[in-house]
């Protein structure tokens, strides 16, 4: 029997052959670990909806940063959880606020061994839970929020951050932040822009992680999940405004957007493997319904294959170990 003449299965026969011809492969250096630090905490607080993820104290945050260095990760993304919130998110611009202190702590601990990134948004700091300041009708005021973002960027830059990460999806946020940084002689600080950030149902566990006060939704400023081309447009706008890296969030449900953005821009592209994506795998694995480690690696490979140069994931530390095994 001679048919079939072409046998692609020949290159799948052994693990060594499969490794030899693999088209996509995630490396630890491409992974970024999101970390949460809670003001006033004296011990870590487990996040019930995200098994294995915690709110850190300032001390345990430094330990986590050292673990990220040892694992060969590309960086960490920091989120602060303040003890007190107000209508304008003043804790985010306070030089002694928890996020800015955390930046300084981590930079002092690991220096240039790890890229330190920080979320530049007000939702963790506002008592209404929105990503910006509100107008008299209770709507997010885009332009007033830009002024606050500029001040917040300067506070994070003064704390020593490598990349600020505007994530509020305000129109013009990247340009405002870039201009503020450059005018204050912080031109070395880069911008990782949350460019295509969708109003997704997969953020639920994250709300617990940051103790969100949000009532309602963010559909007036985050993108409609139905729209792909809009995500590409947003990424192009951010590059034109000075973004050094653009990001698509979430990742798994938006691989088509990720691929389109990768084709459209000439800067590195990141994707955020968000809390709901993480928690679904963890929940299914806890029930014995899926192979957990295989699902982790398959998830991250698919995100990289679709075009992500950088992947933010809560599995970053574990995945780094699995990738070396």
- Residues identified as active-site: 197, 249
Neighbours of 301 (CB within 10 A): 17
> What is the 8-class DSSP label of residue 242?
T
* 3-class state of residue 310 by DSSP: strand
Asked if 75 and 117 count as a contact pair (C-beta separation under 8 A), the reply is yes
What's the Cα-to-Cα distance from 44 to each of 32, 41, 52, 63, 104, rounded to whole Å?
20, 7, 11, 12, 19
Euclidean distance between CA atoms 299 and 116, whole angstroms: 24
* 3-class state of residue 134 by DSSP: strand
Euclidean distance between CA atoms 55 and 69, whole angstroms: 19
Euclidean distance between CA atoms 162 and 116, whole angstroms: 5
Element (H, E) at 37: strand 31-38
Q: Are strands 190-197 and 245-249 parallel, antiparallel or unpaired?
A: parallel
Euclidean distance between CA atoms 147 and 177, whole angstroms: 9
Q: Which two tokens stand for residue 197?
A: 């950030």
- Beta-bridged to residue 165, according to DSSP, are 119
Asked if 214 and 222 count as a contact pair (C-beta separation under 8 A), the reply is no
**Residue 169 half-sphere exposure, CB side, CA atoms within 13 Å?**
22
């Amino acid at each position: 029997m001679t048919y079939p003449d072409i046998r692609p299965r020949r290159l799948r026969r052994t693990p060594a052959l499969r490794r030899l011809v693999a088209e996509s492969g995630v490396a630890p250096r491409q992974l970024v670990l999101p970390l949460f630090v809670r003001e006033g905490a004296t011990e870590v607080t487990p996040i019930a909806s995200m098994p294995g993820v915690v709110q850190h104290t300032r001390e345990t945050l430094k330990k986590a940063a050292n673990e990220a260095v040892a694992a060969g990760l590309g960086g960490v993304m920091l989120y602060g959880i303040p003890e007190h919130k107000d209508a304008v998110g003043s804790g985010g611009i306070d030089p002694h606020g928890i996020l800015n202190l955390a930046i300084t702590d981590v930079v002092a601990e690991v220096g240039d061994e790890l890229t330190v990134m920080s979320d530049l948004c007000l939702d963790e700091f506002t008592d209404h839970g929105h990503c910006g300041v509100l107008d008299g009708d209770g709507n997010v005021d885009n332009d007033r929020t830009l002024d606050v973002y500029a001040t917040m960027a300067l506070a994070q830059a003064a704390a020593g951050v490598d990349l600020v990460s505007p994530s509020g999806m305000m129109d013009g946020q990247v340009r405002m932040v870039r201009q503020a940084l450059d005018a204050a002689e912080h031109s070395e600080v880069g911008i990782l822009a949350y460019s295509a950030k969708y109003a997704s149902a997969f953020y639920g566990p994250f709300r617990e992680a940051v103790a969100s006060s949000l009532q309602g939704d963010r559909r007036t400023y985050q993108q409609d999940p139905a729209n792909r081309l809009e995500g590409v447009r947003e990424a192009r706008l951010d590059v034109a405004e000075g973004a050094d890296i653009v990001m698509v969030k979430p990742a798994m449900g938006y691989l088509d957007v990720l691929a389109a953005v990768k084709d459209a821009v000439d800067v590195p592209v990141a994707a955020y493997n968000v809390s709901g994506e993480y928690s679904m795998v963890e929940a299914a694995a806890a029930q014995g319904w899926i192979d957990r480690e295989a699902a982790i690696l398959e998830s991250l490979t698919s995100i990289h294959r679709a075009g992500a140069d950088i992947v933010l994931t809560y599995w970053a530390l574990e995945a780094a170990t699995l990738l070396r095994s």
